[in-house]
Chains A and B, each alone.
Chain A
């Protein structure tokens, strides 16, 4: 199997910058995707292909990639950003085209 590693939790104060990382061996070769999920709701795609932001997603959400780690950055965090965030990618062989990280709970203090 193939695994993506995320920190279980990240906490920031309103207005600060939150960074959530996701690490895996194949990330230099495979795109990463980020989802936001609030309780009782379906996931929402907030970043695709490492750095692209879907229409309707606030500009404070951005993505970056460096080696085996991708990062979701939320600048000027707002209370409404409190949610679980999941990264998603694929293994290098194509056997597992969709793999999710374990998720990161973002708490806005």
Chain B
């Protein structure tokens, strides 16, 4: 059974930093791209970042480029999102999602998410 469990979401002040983690199980982690997707309260899905199965290719939404860094440790079956220079508009539930293939495409499994609140 595929499981994705996010952690690391907390209340952080504007300008602060945070690292989210996503522990994966139930599939060959290195064979699939992974994405981070966020959803602000009452809003739609917003893709944040994606990484290829081997970790050699990374992609970012314009809204986070230069501030967020996606990475993965295939030996630990774990996906990360380093978030710097956080803004109020980054407040959202952040979910990791498993892709259908090695490169980013569509996502067939999603975690339940971790809440990041950026506020003073």
Q: Which residues of A pack against B, CB within 8 Å? A: 1, 31, 33, 35, 37, 42-45, 48-49, 54, 84, 86, 88, 90, 95-103
13 residue pairs from A and B, CB less than 8 Å apart: A1-B62, A31-B106, A42-B111, A42-B112, A43-B110, A45-B107, A54-B108, A88-B106, A96-B59, A96-B61, A98-B107, A99-B47, A101-B44
- Supply 13 further A-B pairs (C-beta < 8 A) apart from A42-B113, A98-B105, A98-B107: A33-B105, A42-B110, A43-B45, A45-B108, A48-B106, A54-B108, A88-B106, A95-B59, A96-B59, A98-B35, A98-B104, A100-B45, A103-B45
Q: Across the interface, which residues of B come within 8 angstroms of A100, CB to CB?
A: 37, 44-47
When chains A and B are docked, how far (Å) is the Cα of A93 from the Cα of B50?
A: 15
When chains A and B are docked, how far (Å) is the Cα of A13 from the Cα of B37?
A: 32
| Interface 1/0 per residue, B24-59 and A, CB below 8 Å | 000000000001010000001111001000000001
